[in-house]
Chain A
Amino acid sequence: MAEPEGSLKLDNPSGSYRAETAVGPSAGKISIRNVSKTYDPDGANVKAVDNCSLEIGAGEFCVVVGPSGCGKTTLLNAIAGFHSISSGEIYLDDQLLCSKTRKAEPGADRIVVFQNGALFPWYTVLENVICGPVVQGKSSSKDAKAAAAELLGQFGLSEIIHNYPGEISSGMRRRVEIARAMISNPKVLLLDEPFRAMDALTKSVMHKYLLDVFDKTRKTVFFITHDLEEAIFLADKVVVSTTRPARIKKVIEVDLPRPRDFLVLSTERYRELKMEAIDAVHEEALKAFEAGERELA
């Protein structure tokens, strides 16, 4: 790679990608090409991802559905920069993000919202949300606090900004975490089964929130879930993945109109989409069950 690191060259796929590069015109386009990942814990070669290829357009809401423990998170971790990949390449905005020889660095352009939440318990809600801009050096603590207070106000969380995460409900915590991610204006929002640990009612409220945020900001979203209904309700594109090793089994384009609300769940089109995917998902679920796949905690 003769090109200097950090230069934004949209027409040069071999130019390495660095997180500090500015948001370009096709912000957040993800290209996953023939990606495989093999773990080697204690010598047992575990293939988590097998030759996955996927194109996610800029501003697209992409949901990956599959049984638990099948390797979907591995893809997310590779994009986020927590893991390397064994083969293939991932491109972000036509620049190489990671490959066999190059691991991505985690950065504020691809922010992750975690499964059981990762709000820092020792900071208040407000202090949590200003973390991103402050550590990136983008604004002073005071300015960041003002901006954060405003954003949290828009999320309906003004009353709890001085509470600690331990004092608020899980729905609020997840909203705060989404606010914490959004305030840094990432190119891509990565969500790893963020609503898994919630009851169905809280979950449906959270869906509405996420869709509101998406409609307003149109970030590229990479969302992982095991729930097909959630996937179809949220996504522009649903990707059904197989049980381990994860392969792309089926890709469904969801053309339900936006903005969506829960009434969409009773439309004919929604049911059609569900019918398309449900056999595939169920087949994989059965395979995973029989293989004794362990769920993530």
Chain B
Amino acid sequence: MGVQQNTAVSGKKSNLRKLRKTVLSKTTYRGILAVIIFFICWEASSRLHFPIVGEIPPPSSVLKAMQKIVGDAGFWKSWLVSFKRVFSGFIVAQIIGIPLGLLMGINRIFRELMFPGIEILRPIPPLAWVPTAVIFWPTAEMSMTFVTFLGAFFTVVLNIIGGARSIDVRYLRAAYSLGSRRRDIFFRIVLPATLPSIFVGMAVGMGITWEVVVAAEMIASRSGLGFLTWQSYVAGNYPVIVIGMISIGVAGFLSSSLIRLIGNFFTPWRKVI
């Protein structure tokens, strides 16, 4: 059969060309222009003493403070402390949440037993747990980790349950028809089919965890980026507040991007939908 095969060609050269086209496009130029205008407005509003907006430290003073703080070891220690809290809570949430979510996704009885308990606890915002956590956990760090854990946990579990329950029955039937046993069904169908949901849960959970850790640090800690931000307000060092905010944003973005990259690596078939 001399049929022309229309396979997906994704050579490196065409990828590079596509990248160049995207980066040097009108869209990019317009975006850059918008960002420049934003910074100009920000700076101008402060120098011209606009009401309300003018009170925010302008880019120039933020830049000056940034030059100073980058050399300060304490600043980078805050980064490390916050990252450690986020990742420890996040990883525990995955270790407990992924198996739990999978079990609840595939076993109806287990799901019906566990679901009410989870649904009752879920509406309580992780931050509302801070006082309780501080009371019950022996160390301050453990209470912080518990709160970040909560942030990621429910997201992960719910996403996985959704993913596991929405596996097309045809795949299961096809697998059984090919002679699969239950173990094969789990490792060859359920797990790969749920993997995208797991990573979505992770990425969203990561974002929530960062929100939680920052607020928890403001309330109940003496270290970390959240504490740095709050402390700068208390001390009247307003440019550092902005630096704190930017740092938190960048840290969250880096974490989520990392998750997304790892997710893309483990689900290569998703690229081509």
Residues of A within 8 A of B (CB): 19, 80-82, 106-108, 110-112, 114, 116, 118, 120-123, 131-132, 135-136, 156, 159-160, 163-169, 172, 180, 184, 205
| 16 more A-B residue pairs beyond the given contacts A121-B269, A167-B8, A168-B8, with a C-beta to C-beta distance below 8 A | A82-B173, A107-B179, A108-B178, A111-B178, A112-B177, A118-B170, A120-B171, A122-B269, A131-B180, A135-B175, A135-B179, A136-B179, A156-B1, A159-B7, A167-B272, A169-B6
Q: Chain A at the B interface: mostly helix, strand, loop or mixed?
A: loop
* Inter-chain contact A164/B3, CB cutoff 8 Å: no
How far, in whole Å, are A259 and B170 apart by their CA atoms in the complex? 32
* Cα–Cα distance between A184 and B179 once the two chains are bound (Å): 9
Q: Does B273 contact A (CB under 8 A)?
A: yes
Q: Which of B1, B5, B179, B189 contacts A160 (CB 8 A)?
A: B5
A112-B177, A160-B5, A169-B6 known; A120+B189 contact, CB < 8 A: yes
In the complex, the answer to whether A81 meets B174 with C-beta atoms within 8 Å is: no
Please give the distance in Å from A191's CB to the nearest CB on chain B. Answer: 12
Which residues of chain A are near B91, meaning CB under 8 Å?
Answer: none
In the complex, 29 of the A-B residue pairs with CB atoms within 8 angstroms, ordered by the A residue number, are: A19-B179, A82-B173, A106-B173, A107-B177, A108-B178, A108-B179, A110-B177, A111-B178, A112-B174, A112-B177, A114-B170, A120-B188, A122-B192, A122-B193, A131-B180, A131-B188, A132-B178, A132-B179, A135-B179, A135-B184, A159-B5, A159-B7, A160-B5, A164-B268, A166-B269, A166-B273, A167-B8, A167-B272, A172-B5
Nearest Cβ on chain A to B95's Cβ, whole angstroms: 23
Give Cα A118 to B184, complex, Å: 16
> Nearest residue in B to A177 (C-beta to C-beta)?
B174
Q: Is B134's CB within 8 Å of the partner chain A? A: no
Chain B, residue nearest A166 (CB): B272
Min CB distance A108 to B, Å, is: 4
Partner of B7, one of A131, A165, A168, A180: A168
How many Å lie between the Cα of A19 and that of B192 in the bound state? 27
B170-A135 in contact (CB<8A): no
Complex Cα–Cα for A118 and B172 (A): 9
Sorted nearest first, the 8 A-B pairs with minimum C-beta distance are A108-B179, A122-B192, A118-B174, A106-B176, A136-B179, A132-B178, A118-B170, A167-B8
Residues of A contacting B188 in the complex (Cβ-Cβ under 8 angstroms): 120, 131, 135
Give Cα A123 to B173, complex, Å.
16
- A residues near B175, Cβ cutoff 8 Å: 120, 131, 135
- A257–B189 alpha-carbon span in the complex (Å): 42
Interface pair B174/A114, CB less than 8 Å apart: yes
Q: Chain B residues near A135 (CB, 8 Å)?
A: 175, 178-181, 184, 188
Q: A106-B176, A107-B177, A120-B188 are in contact. Are A163 and B8 (CB under 8 A)?
A: yes
CB distance from A165 to the nearest CB of B (A): 8
Residue of A whose beta carbon sits closest to that of B176 = A106
